[in-house]
Structure 1
């Protein structure tokens, strides 16, 4: 085990003091003062896993032990916002030397029993259809509106509970965006779609709260725009609404002595275009861009390009980038190359989606890379 695995055990006790020794993301003055410091000292390896409350502790210990023994440093656990389940699993993982990060679907809240009592909280398309009962692409796309006070407070309340769990290192934002305006090109055939322009059924959020707030700020109604695709104020307004949720989440996480991390689209310009997500402008400690090359019909070397682009965009912000790699159907040789490309282009780590897809051959690659 690396020394940092021992440090993980201390993090559970002194998480707040650790936060104090890290420069806050988005604070450029502080970042310049501490540009030689970083959230992680070594190249870090992460994986995602979704928890099942019916599984035994022994089965989780076996899973966590497998990760730790094969070079993984951190596990992102989705408990569907269940703080009690997270509290049960965290000590099992940290005992094996793993960092634990509380992974949660953020703006996309499928089946959220609290949110479902408030139909007005959900994002609305340009067609006027709400994700409450008209879900784009797939049935689990139930995105909340980032502008409404009720939906935002609900999300922040969940973050507060999860970041109060002892031993957790960060809160991990996922689906921190709007529904896809444009799907990754490799996924279009699955839905029999052509998306050459912004289609109204995939363009969100046009709910009453967003329209009213935008009209108050800009004295115009986007629904009356000649072409909303080139209305920069309307686009920026929605980028700002997501940023506001992230920035509030950052304050909540840090108040509770935790970092804020997030899964994002491959690089900021691309994320801006596809899902209204400009993550280089956020207050966030670590981003894990999902550089899933096969989703975009790209070759392995694209992982290096997208990593490098994100690293450049983050210069001066204090935010770290750890490359997200999609491992299903990936050979051991390809995974080794992907990790090397991430390192060469400035990433501080690599994350693998997901734990269930990590075969013995792929785990051997990770273990070897961790020992270099």
Structure 2
């Protein structure tokens, strides 16, 4: 589960996920010829020289990691050159060039449905998802202040998100686009995180349940004859209304975002939840090139075998077989535990692993990855 302040308060941090060379996700092989591929999520920083970045990327490459997911948009400013958003620094273009010199893939990792840009909050408040109490996320975000999710059925939102993906596919040399936060807010957060916020979520509560905006209510009423707010005593118990939210995200992915990337022969992947129902994220139906479930076992009070158990189920549930990479939360793993997690992931069917995040990997972790 990715969260900036949310995770930081839990003694954690952000998130991320990745991709590969188009037409090659299923058949691409690592340097050892085993088929196993390693990835790492990287958060950006200002004022770092090309020389220092090349040093970081070289360390990554020499450790057996095949590609990086550079966070280029985290709901406000862009880390690539664009006229669509405020630009922090055109870092993506720099790292693409540096990565090519050492044979390292560089993918653009973006926050998809969260928008904390003051311009859009002020000028497009109708873009934001609404909870079961009628509160919009821009003024009443769930859990933490940056949880300002947009509505997946709003035409303006669909255009905005699609244009973000379109812009990134046009960056020369980009290896892929990686979708993060492609979902609605957690209607139930992972059980291991609930005590940190003095929350007990034994069922779905309306203040965490989105999207009840006018567009979604009208669309659902046209399809079913039901207004979820007026006609249902307990909307959370209605399977049709629940599926409508799943399908709203799936439709955005399959009908808008995936075709954009595919039209330019750019891989498109996503960071996804193992407990997808809780975030309205039925990713087993998505037409993407690969998936990176965030198997952060400590968030779910699980042991290392929990990673393997979930991998097997998630892989089996896919409508179309695609590579699934085990997303591992490095802060929770000693080097010995990392090695065991990799073994479990491999025997459970993963195509590789992705590590969150680069700044949490020490030399002992890197040695395990290099020798696995």
Cα drift, residue 140 of structure 1: 1.1
* Structure 1, gaps ≥5 residues long: 1-14, 24-36
* Closer/same/farther in 2, CA of residues 206 and 40 from structure 1, 3 Å limit: farther
Distance in 2 between residues matched to 1:22 and 1:78, nearest whole Å? 23
Q: Which residue in 2 is equivalent to 1:345?
A: 348
4+ aligned runs moved over 6 Å, structure 1? none
The alignment status of 1:118 with 2:136, answered yes or no, reads no
The alignment status of 1:57 with 2:50, answered yes or no, reads yes
Cα drift, residue 22 of structure 1: 5.4
Q: Which residue in 1 is equivalent to 2:84?
A: none
Q: Which residue in 2 is equivalent to 1:8?
A: none
1:167-205 CA-to-partner distances (Å, cap 9, x unmatched) read 212110101110000100000011100000111100000
Q: Which residue in 2 is equivalent to 1:261?
A: 269
Matches within 5 A, 1:1-372: 19=22, 21=23, 38=27, 40=29, 42-80=35-73, 81-84=78-81, 85=90, 86-111=92-117, 113-114=119-120, 116-223=122-229, 224-247=231-254, 248-266=256-274, 270-272=275-277, 274-314=278-318, 317-369=320-372
Distance in 2 between residues matched to 1:22 and 1:318, nearest whole Å? 14
Cα drift, residue 113 of structure 1: 4.1
Cα drift, residue 62 of structure 1: 1.3
* Closer/same/farther in 2, CA of residues 226 and 136 from structure 1, 3 Å limit: same
Q: Contact conserved, 1:253 with 1:259, CA < 8 A, in 2? A: yes
* Closer/same/farther in 2, CA of residues 255 and 199 from structure 1, 3 Å limit: same
* Closer/same/farther in 2, CA of residues 116 and 320 from structure 1, 3 Å limit: farther
Distance in 2 between residues matched to 1:64 and 1:168, nearest whole Å? 15
* Partner SS state of residue 150, structure 1: helix
* Closer/same/farther in 2, CA of residues 116 and 340 from structure 1, 3 Å limit: farther
Q: Which residue in 1 is equivalent to 2:12?
A: none
* Structure 2, gaps ≥5 residues long: 1-19, 82-89
Distance in 1 between residues matched to 2:59 and 2:203, nearest whole Å? 45
Q: Contact conserved, 2:298 with 2:332, CA < 8 A, in 1? A: no
Cα drift, residue 320 of structure 1: 1.3
Question: Which shows bigger deviation, 40-49 or 287-296?
Answer: 40-49
TM-score relative to the length of structure 2: 0.86
Distance in 1 between residues matched to 2:122 and 2:108, nearest whole Å? 23
Q: Contact conserved, 2:69 with 2:109, CA < 8 A, in 1? A: yes
Q: If each structure's helix is expressed as a fraction of its own residues, which one has the higher value?
A: 1
Cα drift, residue 112 of structure 1: 6.3
Distance in 1 between residues matched to 2:100 and 2:346, nearest whole Å? 26
Distance in 1 between residues matched to 2:47 and 2:115, nearest whole Å? 22
Q: Which residue in 1 is equivalent to 2:86?
A: none
Distance in 1 between residues matched to 2:178 and 2:117, nearest whole Å? 19
Distance in 1 between residues matched to 2:214 and 2:64, nearest whole Å? 49
TM-score relative to the length of structure 1: 0.86
* Partner SS state of residue 331, structure 2: coil
Cα root mean square deviation, aligned: 1.7
Q: Contact conserved, 1:123 with 1:131, CA < 8 A, in 2? A: yes
* Closer/same/farther in 2, CA of residues 350 and 113 from structure 1, 3 Å limit: farther
